[in-house]
Structure 1
Amino acid sequence: MTDRRPSRVTVTSPKTRAVARWGGRGTREIDEQTALGEVYMRSLIRAQLRLSLFVCTLLVLVVGGLPLLFWLSGSVRQGRLAGLPVPWLLLAVLLYPLFALCGWWYVRQAEANERDFADLVDRR
Structure 2
Amino acid sequence: MTPKEILQKWIDCFNAADAVALANLYAQDAINHQVANTPVIGKTAIHEMFVNEFATSKMVCIVEHIFEDGEWAIMEWKDPLGLRGCGFFHVQNDKIVFQRGYWDKLSFLKQHGLPVENSDENPNT
Higher helix share: 1
Higher strand share: 2
- In our comparison, the structure showing a higher alpha carbon Rg is 1
Using structure 1 for the length normalisation, give the TM-score. Answer: 0.22
Using structure 2 for the length normalisation, give the TM-score. Answer: 0.22
Q: Which has the higher contact order (CA 8 A, sep 6+)?
A: 1
